Structure 1
């Protein structure tokens, strides 16, 4: 095997070797979704030797299946969760400042069918006298938005909401359904790359604390009450670890993991499945006019749609599920979402063949007897399970939570752990930039900064602009690597190059093709992934990872089937394979 081929496995090998040498650890976090990652970051920055494991890839579950919104939760005002909305708005505005490379304002419009409707039913829902969804009028929405504005003025600088009459609404959104009588517009935020932000939080943490260790594709297999057995999902190797505190951040799998840990038999999670579609429809994209449309469908359930990488993201469903392991977007869910779209844009035809990609995840909501899934609180809580006769370690369970509030939830969880360890907080993350958000230039300085990078690295302005949009200020590390040797555009996607992908493989714990095309890049979700492109990427990974021809074919076949089953990309299976092997230029060692 060549030096280049062995290098990625060496990177993982170093992590596994560190794990072999560990006998005791103060904290083991199980679950590499955004809340587990946030807790890892908080503890690592306090100097705690913390280990985090994830049975799949980082943000592979619900944390990679969000609606791509960073929002305050306008509808939670109706259920009286004012504290959650206030906290969400504060954390949204922090992310706008701390992660400007991925989080940006999102103008949001609510189409309405009346000025005064829904007030009585809203009162009933507020006082828990009814759980039946119903449509909301402009006055009711304005009341919520006024409170939303008050929170925004306190924590940030988003523009105030506005109401538009029927004529004004028609002028801006002529394709809206005839039932729309008026509309309200306000601002929230969207996140372009949630999985990448999750990884950057891990990288920041490990850089700040050499004793912090995060390993993906590592599963907690069993517990004897004192020591835990971990298994490498890729090689099958087992490891033994004795923790003082176990943080159960496994989301929808919390109850299953607690059973493995013998941490009581209390049911903590009552998850619901949320499915989304990415559709290619230029007419719909134009009709949105750059906004997110936040609307109630015919049954009163809230749905969303907004521009996404030149396509449109639409969602979502809210279905109770018992087994989080097997969830996919089913045909009836796809039809439900498309029907909801037609309810608000009836003259725009979006068919099954326009659906480029589907994704879904299980929201780790607290166990609830609520008859309507939408009535279950989206707030987060911590459950401590003390040691007992069966178990020497304390278990801290992270229940619920929204993507937007991950930092606050992780902070609260870390403070509980620090208390259990007898330690004190040293660092606050409230104003700490994340990953490529470090030293990110203002809009006024961005053009001159990118011009400087173009001259410094002798890369075209368009190439620099693409890299900065994908990685923020971390793009500079990649540019240094790219110029060390000749680079080549991908044959089937010229906006990407071999050395860009190689850098991601070497530096971002990429183990499988899925990691690269779904979570480190937007190639699959943006509708750019084709069978020839996937084959080309697998060729590059095969050279970097030292796969044999048989292993390469197995990786390709398994990836194709996962993409078809989990994301509706069955067309990749039926496509004619590109039989020509891609020539990959071996890359020199990274900096």
Structure 2
């Protein structure tokens, strides 16, 4: 069902039974849970799927080691369980990540950590070997019954410097434990969405669709065309995260403040010295002010972050200059002899953590757990469930919680569970990936390296993608092809250029965007959508404005990248 058919099908209906507002990872999760139970459910997202906080995470899939200090044992246990489920259900995107903690003291932090655990202080502070050892022992204990990854190990100063010679030489010890990382979080969300739509013909979803309220109830507006549709849901699930209060106000629901989000900014750095210095590990370290920071290899570059700053308007978040300076200063603390040039910051992003409202002066103490707040109907609006809090790792369990509350209100019983349900290209995942790749490469006629790329991007769905490529042509300066983009546009709800280049692909986040590539992508998208010259120009201008305001990329940088790409291509051709 295409977009126009979906909107036409909503007109004149009494439903849907459930309207889910918000197409981030939590909204998609509850939508999938309800669709799998056969519920007549509609998902509406005002932007693109996974374009808000769900596109701006640290790419970690983890239990939350530091949450132990806050006494959030239930959350850590649940997060570790969901992490392990994702390793099994989405092995094409989620993989183990060795994580090393540099330690500069032995006894520091014991008193402060105890006080934080008891709620007697909000003050951040450095943690020494004793505190870190205790936390890692608990971490191991919580996964003892289903151990998928090695237990933690401690290293001496000499052993640490042998493995990471570029690390701050003031180090006393290091500890390594295992968590996980997600390579393509936005793609995982879209795959879940498509799985849900395929499972239930009554389930519908729209991106670029704004939901508001008036005296007569709920109105959905297609922001691409301006067309409106009146909806009559029996129940609303507000899954808009940091936007929950704004969504409630837009619906006309008079509610006290529920959210108190904080901003986290990250940089993508293309520095080979830094990349190699990590030795394949994530470095999970404390800055000199006690703030937890991370850096790890990410799709050929290095991801560095993050900040933790209160925000009032989630629509205006961006990585500011002082945040970028703070992140680079923190990096200089742990790897003091590695210098990052401005042009090596190839992408930057910021998102809002959907935390519950709190007056705590120290943001690190705000609980990271999740719950649903039920809001009674008021005549014009039906009852509403507001999904408060949460972290990316626990999206499945949070979605299941909200879905169970919705099913109870609908008088329906659960008929399907998702604990062990593979997602998208994680289905039928091969134990021997290279053998699978070789077999599919032979069937499709693609070279092994090309098939391997597709497998990394789409998992077992790569076989379908490869079968539809035919006589394909590669795009300028990146490893994506014209045929790939055409398939993504046709199958994955692509409506705008940023949908395609920032979320369905990793072209943007890996620093491969150039002015030439943008022009090629516009041609492909315009042909698929039937855009005229005015719409093409508007789309280009909107995208360039977004890149400059949110991601630190202006037209000059993009043009310079095109020139360098052309020079490299010419040199390779000559060679």
RMSD value, Cα: 1.5
Aligned to 2:567: none
**Distance in 2 between residues matched to 1:517 and 1:156, nearest whole Å:** 38
* Equivalent residues in 2 for 1:273-288, closer than 5 Å: 273-288=263-278
Q: Aligned pair 1:47/2:32, yes or no?
A: no
**Distance in 2 between residues matched to 1:423 and 1:477, nearest whole Å:** 36
Which among 424, 434, 458 is matched to residue 445 of structure 2?
Answer: 458
Q: Aligned pair 1:565/2:549, yes or no?
A: yes
Aligned to 1:106: 97
* Equivalent residues in 2 for 1:229-308, closer than 5 Å: 229-308=219-298
Which among 34, 52, 62 is matched to residue 25 of structure 2?
Answer: 34
Shift of 1:264: 2.8
1:263/1:395 contact within 8 Å kept: no
Aligned to 1:547: 531
Shift of 1:539: 1.2
Q: Deviations over 1:515-555 (max 9, x none)?
A: 11100000010011111111111111111111122221221
1:108/1:185 contact within 8 Å kept: yes
Q: Deviations over 1:440-467 (max 9, x none)?
A: 111xx21121111111111111111111
Which among 15, 25, 34 is matched to residue 16 of structure 2?
Answer: 25
Aligned to 1:535: 519
2:377 partner SS: coil
Shift of 1:82: 0.3
**Distance in 2 between residues matched to 1:220 and 1:410, nearest whole Å:** 20
Q: Deviations over 1:298-338 (max 9, x none)?
A: 10000000001111100000000111111111001000100
Q: TM-score, normalised by structure 2?
A: 0.96
Where in structure 1 are there 5+ consecutive unaligned residues? 1-9, 580-591
Shift of 1:578: 8.1
Shift of 1:556: 1.2
What is the aligned length?
A: 563
State which drifts further: 272-281 or 174-183.
174-183
Q: Deviations over 1:466-495 (max 9, x none)?
A: 111100111122122213xx22122433x2
Q: Deviations over 1:119-141 (max 9, x none)?
A: 01101111111111111111111
Aligned to 1:176: 167
**Distance in 2 between residues matched to 1:26 and 1:543, nearest whole Å:** 36
- Shift in alpha-carbon separation, 1:572–1:397, aligned structure 2, 3 A: farther
- Moved segments of 4+, more than 4 Å: 571-574, 576-579
State which drifts further: 276-285 or 548-557.
548-557
Which among 100, 116, 120 is matched to residue 107 of structure 2?
Answer: 116
Shift of 1:571: 4.5
**Distance in 1 between residues matched to 2:449 and 2:184, nearest whole Å:** 20
1:23/1:240 contact within 8 Å kept: no
Q: Deviations over 1:59-111 (max 9, x none)?
A: 00001100000000000000000000000000000000000000000000000
Q: Deviations over 1:380-435 (max 9, x none)?
A: 011001123x4441010000100000000000000000000011111110000000
Which among 569, 572, 575 is matched to residue 559 of structure 2?
Answer: 575
**Distance in 2 between residues matched to 1:409 and 1:22, nearest whole Å:** 29
Shift of 1:114: 1.6
Q: TM-score, normalised by structure 1?
A: 0.93
1:108 partner SS: strand
Aligned to 2:420: 431
Q: Aligned pair 1:314/2:298, yes or no?
A: no
1:30/1:246 contact within 8 Å kept: yes
Shift of 1:353: 2.4
- Shift in alpha-carbon separation, 1:392–1:56, aligned structure 2, 3 A: closer
- Shift in alpha-carbon separation, 1:294–1:574, aligned structure 2, 3 A: closer
1:142 partner SS: helix
1:33/1:62 contact within 8 Å kept: yes
Q: Aligned pair 1:334/2:324, yes or no?
A: yes
- Shift in alpha-carbon separation, 1:230–1:572, aligned structure 2, 3 A: farther
Q: Deviations over 1:211-266 (max 9, x none)?
A: 00011000012233x53111001000001100110000011111111122233321
2:268/2:302 contact within 8 Å kept: yes
Aligned to 2:477: 492
**Distance in 2 between residues matched to 1:431 and 1:572, nearest whole Å:** 48
2:218/2:381 contact within 8 Å kept: no
1:502 partner SS: helix
* Equivalent residues in 2 for 1:392-407, closer than 5 Å: 392-407=381-396
1:535/1:578 contact within 8 Å kept: no
Shift of 1:577: 11
**Distance in 2 between residues matched to 1:186 and 1:68, nearest whole Å:** 17
2:219/2:229 contact within 8 Å kept: yes
1:561/1:573 contact within 8 Å kept: no
Which among 451, 462, 466 is matched to residue 479 of structure 1?
Answer: 466
Aligned to 1:136: 127
Aligned to 1:6: none
1:489 partner SS: coil
- Shift in alpha-carbon separation, 1:426–1:156, aligned structure 2, 3 A: farther
**Distance in 1 between residues matched to 2:109 and 2:349, nearest whole Å:** 32
